[in-house]
Amino acid sequence: MTAPFSQFAILAPVPLEHLQSGKLIADAEGFVAFGSRKWELFRKVDELRNGAAVPVLIYPSHEDVPAKDSFIVSWFGLYVGAQETGNGAHPLGMKHRPPTTGQYGADNKGHWAVFWHVKDLAELPHSQKMPISAVQTVKGGWRKDKPPRGPELVAMPSTINFPV
């Protein structure tokens, strides 16, 4: 991938309940930690970002429903780092995890390979929400013929006023 920081973002699905409870954690603790199995992606992002925060475009995911191009990017935040895990749990326990993840046994014990940290988590204004099909690809990132089921690299939309 050759896109400079200012031209890429992370597109990610997160269940709505975790976004809502995660916002409270991000506000109180400085960031919220979401889980993923895509540790390679976050290593790549960390190399590219050179310590800078990276915009995150989030669409509420729906359990047991295949991702669709019509899903709506309706949340945003700033990616500020990741923590890989050997045991599938965040090393700081639930301090930075959305409280709603506590109701899912595997969500905090053994399921995730990496926890990606997001600060300034907020819902987008209605005028800036967009279907994921409107988000452009970048080389080495999301393929539009297969909507993502996890975080992916994308081009930063010019229509979103992002506080970077």
Per-residue pLDDT at 135 exceeds 70:
yes
The pLDDT tens digits of the residues spanning 49-106 come to 989 999 999 998 866 666 666 789 999 999 999 999 877 788 888 899 898 887 876 6
Kindly write down the DSSP assignment for every residue of the chain, as one continuous string: ----GGGEEEEEEEEHHHHHHHHHHHHHHS-EEEEES-HHHHHHHHHHHTT--EEEEEEEE-TTS---TT-EE-EEEEEEEEEE-SSSS-TTTTTTS-GGGGGSGGGGTTS-SEEEEEEEEEEPPGGG-EEGGGSPP-TTS--TTS--SS-EEEEPPTTS----
Query: Across all residues in the chain, what is the average pLDDT?
Result: 84
The pLDDT tens digits of the residues spanning 14-34 come to 999 999 999 999 999 999 999
- The domain 5-155 having CATH identifier 1.20.140: the answer here is no
pLDDT score recorded for residue 61: 83
Confidence at 123, pLDDT banded by 50, 70, 90: very high
Domain boundaries, the chain: 5-155
